[in-house]
Structure 1
Amino acid sequence: MAIEEDLARIFLETLEKTEVGKKLSVNFKGQPHPVDVKYRFAGGWVVEQRLIPGMPIELTRGDDGFLEGIDITIQTNEGLKELKTD
């Protein structure tokens, strides 16, 4: 989805502009859906995080060359469903 790719690109660009050692906090306010964030690091490390609506991503900027990419997936939110019992 283009929106998710744009969000990931903007987030990565913002992180790259952040001074090393400084904290970056990004919040998906107004987004009533869970957001999955996957961080890909050098050496094959992958960290996955699911954010509930309103929960921010908080990262401290490190040195260049370790973070290879970020993927963002906005999940669908079907809300509460009626549980049918017999």
Structure 2
Amino acid sequence: MAWTPATFAVFCFIFGAMGLLVGLEIWRPGGAERRGVLGLTTTRGDRLFISLLGAAWIFLVWLALVGMPVWGALGIAIAWSVFTFWKV
């Protein structure tokens, strides 16, 4: 895999999000479990995993159907992540 600035930014974001979740777990333990619109009982870590997995699929589908540039896919992925942390 080529380490481009974009690849570096993605990995920094993922590790930063994981670090933020560790800090939140230390500050407020328990993972903030809740039942969302999908009927799943999720914690903060589960919602991060669902949002990252969904974002990967959004980017793959975007590349298959539209191609480059992927700014539209980024907007959809951010909206999906906000929805995931808000309602799931």
Interval containing the TM-score (normalised by the shorter chain):
0.3 to 0.5
| Higher RCO (C-alpha 8 Å, min separation 6) | 1
User: Which of the two has greater helix per residue?
Assistant: 2
Please report the TM-score for the alignment, with normalisation by the length of structure 1.
0.32
| Structure-2-length-normalised TM-score | 0.32
